[in-house]
Chain A
């Protein structure tokens, strides 16, 4: 090893450097940008230039303009629905995984998580082609006799956004639910069985309540990921599928109103923080230790 004799001053200098870095890195690259962003939401735009005079105008516009609040609310409803669909599909799958033994359990879990590795943009594109007029979904529905002719119901509208986001985000729901199910002590289930409960009773009274924290984290994950996404609505939403993320994004592109976009982001951030806190509050498993 080199430098063993000169360690003391070297170490002190290094530890000072590390201290400075440890504080400055997060503050400069995360806190400062977010703070500037917040300040921007109180600015305004006049003929394409940003006016650095504080005003509440952006927030007043958000609450009084008939466009923004309804879109905001619809987007929240949309993302809650996405979370609900993801959980309804992910819960049985996660439960099934926990009934498997040993290697199979993790192999299948991996298998269900692999789609996360596929390029997000390509997945959106592929889903759009599946949902489209010539897509597989329409073909299948016509073949099954459910539809007479291919429908445009599944693409370029709110339904399309709902379906696409659900499909993209299911893996994010499987993982937390699986982990909470796996953490349930087997002794509890055996005790319930010994005391004469049926499989359904054991599920409803033991497994389900103890897995609810996982469901809460899953819901909060999926909701946050869905509401922040502006690519999916842009790509499959068409003209009618207008979401909050799209409006926000357009403020930095075509609409060119950064301060207003910043104010919209603050509204988005508040909803996201609320969702994370709710997920955190109910996502903590209590009393699972035996």
Chain B
């Protein structure tokens, strides 16, 4: 792309900068307000403070919501990684009905969350399952399953068949081949999928609002608080969560990207 003349490069760089500013401005607001006092839209730059972080430690309500979110996230990860991997292993061979079932798995991810959420809401009511954290976990698992499934399936497809054949040739049983050859090769894809699933579950709001019972996760709690306006300690929480998720995604990228780029080149 070296054919571009310089003025157009400058224009492109300017637009990219604008996009970056637009994208980061909503992140900037809570992070700045977590360290400085803001009144009537004016930031008091003179007195940085950590009081919001101290206030956060005493906000039991929001910390309970955070704990709920983490519990839901962990349950979702376990359920979605186990079932996503099973499904990927099952559909990897050419089997009847695969494209249809695969389509069903992808539906909740493609459909607007309001539709998946409402469908589950009515489903839970029909089967008489009270709305609780269990229904939230089911909702999240159904939502993130497609991602885990796809991640693991892609790794399976890029795995050399000769590995499995060699294992059988050397006299290993199917069970041994699975534990010693297939699973270790899939593990980094499973970890990557797990991190993505956790990140999606952590911020899932729309399905959760519809299927949650009395205990709410953090995004739903924030949503409820937003009508009244946030207390400053929420900014501290959000800044911390952002740092944490960036860290998590750098980790996910480490597990997922190198292998995939290597396979794309072949």
A interface residue numbers (CB < 8 A to B): 1, 3-4, 7, 10-11, 18-19, 21-23, 25-27, 29-34, 36-37, 40, 89-90, 92-93, 95-99, 108, 110-112, 114-115, 117-127, 129-130, 132, 134-136, 139, 167, 170-171, 174, 186, 189, 192-193, 198-199, 202-203, 224-225, 227-231, 235, 245, 248-249, 252, 258, 261-262, 265, 268-269, 272, 276
Contacts and interface: CB of A to CB of B under 8 A. Distances in A.
Given A36-B123, A93-B19, A224 B110 contact: yes
B113 A228 contact: yes
A117 B246 contact: yes
B101 A23 contact: yes
13 contacts: A4-B175, A25-B83, A26-B105, A29-B138, A29-B141, A33-B123, A34-B119, A89-B15, A112-B23, A115-B27, A189-B1, A230-B114, A272-B112
B242 A118 contact: yes
Contact of A249 (B83, B89, B114, B180): B114
A32 B110 contact: no
Contacts of B40: 134
Contacts of B142: 29-30
A262 B119 CA distance: 8
B226 A96 contact: no
Interface residues of B, number: 79
A170 B22 contact: yes
Dominant secondary structure at the B interface: helix
Given A29-B142, A115-B27, A224-B110, A4 B105 contact: no
Contacts of B23: 112, 115, 167, 170-171
B251 interface: no
Q: Which residue among A11, A129, A225, A268 has the maximum number of chain B CB atoms within 10 Å of its CB?
A: A129
Contacts of A262: 118, 122
Dominant secondary structure at the A interface: helix
B118 A37 contact: yes
Contacts of B47: none
Q: Which residue among A96, A127, A135, A252 has the maximum number of chain B CB atoms within 10 Å of its CB?
A: A96
A79 to B, nearest CB: 11
Given A95-B12, A129-B29, A1 B111 contact: no
B4 A99 contact: yes
B16 interface: yes
A82 B18 CA distance: 17
Given A4-B175, A89-B18, A269-B111, A115 B123 contact: no
Nearest to B115: A265
* Interchain residue pairs A-B with the least CB separation, the first 8: A228-B112, A134-B41, A33-B123, A126-B26, A126-B29, A33-B119, A37-B119, A96-B12
Nearest to A259: B122
B176 A33 contact: no
A110 B40 CA distance: 34
A123 B27 contact: yes
B104 A26 contact: yes
B163 to A, nearest CB: 17
A235 B122 contact: no
Contacts of A132: 41
B122 A96 contact: no
Given A26-B105, A99-B12, A117 B86 contact: no
B193 interface: no
A114 B246 contact: yes
A96 B16 contact: yes
Q: Which residue among A34, A119, A136 has the maximum number of chain B CB atoms within 10 Å of its CB?
A: A119
Contact of B230 (A25, A95, A108, A125): A125
Contacts of B19: 89-90, 92-93, 112, 170, 174
B179 interface: yes
Contact of A22 (B13, B87, B241): B87
Interface string B8-45: 11011101101110111111111000000000110000
